[in-house]
Amino acid sequence: MLTHLSLRLRIFLFFCLLALGAIAVSLGSLWLSYQRAATPALLDPFVFAGLMGTFAILGLCAGIWLLFDENVAKPIEVLAAEMRLRAHGGVSRGIDAKTARYLGDLAPAAAGLAGQLGDSTLLTARNIAEETARLEADKRQLTTLLSELPVATVMLGSDHHIVLYDAQAADVLAQIAHPRLNASMFDYLDRVALQAAYEQMNKTGKEVQAQVCGRDEVQSYSVSLKPLGQGEGYVLIFDAAVARIAPDAARPLIYDFALLERPLLDIADRPLKDLCFAVFDTETTGLLPHKDEIVQIGAVRVLNGRMIEGEQFDTLVDPQRPIPEASTRVHGVSNAMVQGAPVITKAAAQFHLFAKDAVIVAHNAPFDMAFLRRHAKATGVKWDHPILDTVLLSAVLFGSSVPHTLDALCERLDITIPPALRHTALGDAHATANALVQMIPMLQARGFDSLAQVIEQTRRHGRLLEDLNPVDNHGGTWQAGQKT
């Protein structure tokens, strides 16, 4: 009964019911006593006694509830979150038993269990690390080999979404837009020509040569399409002439073969770990979204529960106005640094493409999104992505009573932000993405498996921050009808 409500709210309702019951019994007793007295002149004293008794009961119940909430309900909530951190969030530090010192032996027992779990996890991690080290060595050798071949290779699923690309392909794709896993190849190459070549490949079952224009219609590419198997996707190889750029050590072979097996589901119903997230942050000239301007945008991508190294967006933005010295002291972006940088309309359009078909994530999203949406019309884009806010996710997991700043969240999750990267757009985006990766399994452990379920939970903490996802006609959670 009422299990969908938080523990603290249920306890509050229990004390409300207790107070109402006590008031009802008290007033009933006074009414019966007045009836038996059969003396109308005693009505005023009885009414006064009833009012005094009502206020006394309310005060007593409120006082006991406050003590109970502070020393029992809140510590239980904190203790549960701390245990979940260790079970699913990758945190190994010990539990502070003082947090729940009035809960008898519960806190020491939880601390002991967390310690054993940590020791067991450490032993398992060591065994896994040994095997992983060997696999990583093999992977590095394969990556080096493929990256040195003068061929730009992209593997795609049957839905034309990118599953793998090498360093040379990253250089080719970057001429059009940021390379990214799970992106549609139609974001880079002409749909009609590529679709025609794909259909010919499927029809013949053999390799197909084609001439395909870039989506920007600036360049033309000679490509080969090689089938992986009927309905299993294909490999697209650019002509060696376009792979002239030397491999970039920061962009190794990037892949996620799980994308080949993903079911076609509505984005709202997909498991959280299977979703693609674009985690971003901005630095601005000030704190007023209706008048200040963005000076830097940084973003990273999280896919299948992990951050994709090498897929990041980082740009300075010319605010076309002076940057106050006070703001420069915070984020380090000066007027000289933004000279020649793209203006917000161009930078926002590039970020919009980087975040295409992804869930946008930010810490205090209403602030950052307000800047982007203010320029949406001039940019020529529509910010209709589903949005998650790590402030609200933190409230869902750890309760509303604890701090939810980025520093507090990272400290809670044992995430270290290098001082040089704090208050830089890309540095804060990395920290937010790391927090998201750790919170996804914790959310799923709570039974919140899909995007729709998580958004429903974050809306319950709307007093902290506004939820930016539109509500459907039935008052439900965000639904886009998108397949991803």
Q: Report pLDDT for 438.
A: 94
pLDDT digit string (tens) for 20-58?
A: 999 999 999 988 888 888 788 888 888 888 899 999 999
Q: Report pLDDT for 473.
A: 41
Q: Using a cut of 0.85, tell me whether the model's pTM lies above it.
A: no
Q: Which residue has the tokens 């920290």?
A: 431
Could you tell me the two tokens for 5?
Answer: 């409500």
Are 149-255 and 264-461 equal in CATH topology? no
d(CA 430, CA 421): 9
Q: Which residue has the tokens 């997230």?
A: 277
Q: Report pLDDT for 483.
A: 43
Q: Report pLDDT for 216.
A: 82
d(CA 240, CA 305): 34
Domain boundaries, the chain: 7-110, 149-255, 264-461
Between CA 184 and CA 192, with CA 189 as vertex, the angle to 5 degrees is 95
Distance of CA 365 to the CA centre of its chain: 11
Q: Could you count the other beta carbons within 10 Å of the beta carbon of residue 50?
A: 18
Distance of CA 196 to the CA centre of its chain: 37
Could you tell me the two tokens for 356?
Answer: 């295409």
- The contacts found for 337-342 with CB under 8 angstroms, 24 or more apart, are 338/295, 341/315, 341/316, 341/317, 342/315, 342/317, 342/318
| AA identity, residue 401 | S
Dump the DSSP string for 216-256.
Answer: TSS-EEEEEEEE-STTS-EEEEE-GGG--SPPPTTS--EE-
Share of the chain above pLDDT 90, in %: 52
Residue 206, pLDDT above cutoff 50: yes
Residue scoring higher pLDDT (231 or 343): 343
Q: Are 293 and 319 in contact (CB under 8 A)?
A: yes
Q: Report pLDDT for 62.
A: 92
Residue 134, pLDDT above cutoff 90: no
Residue 70, pLDDT above cutoff 90: no
Q: Which residues contact 17 (CB under 8 A, 6 or more apart)?
A: none
Could you tell me the two tokens for 267?
Answer: 């984005």
CATH architecture of 264-461: 2-Layer Sandwich (3.30)
Q: Are 360 and 278 in contact (CB under 8 A)?
A: yes
Q: Are 307 and 433 in contact (CB under 8 A)?
A: yes
What's the pLDDT band for 73 if we cut at 50, 70, 90?
confident
Instruction: Phi first, then psi: give them for residue 210, nearest 5 degrees.
Output: -150, 160
CATH number of this structure's domain 149-255, picked from the four choices 2.30.30.280, 3.40.50.720, 3.30.565.10, 3.30.450.20: 3.30.450.20
| pLDDT, mean of residues 186-211 | 93
pLDDT digit string (tens) for 451-466?
A: 999 999 999 898 889 8
Share of the chain above pLDDT 70, in %: 80
Whole-number mean pLDDT of the chain?
Answer: 84
| pLDDT, mean of residues 231-245 | 75
> Which residue stretches of 325-465 are H helix?
325-331, 344-354, 365-374, 376-379, 390-398, 406-412, 425-445, 451-458
Q: Report pLDDT for 474.
A: 40
| pLDDT, mean of residues 417-443 | 94
d(CA 302, CA 311): 9
Residue 376, pLDDT above cutoff 50: yes
Lowest-pLDDT range, 144-148, 214-218, 247-251, 367-371?
Answer: 247-251
| pLDDT, mean of residues 407-412 | 94
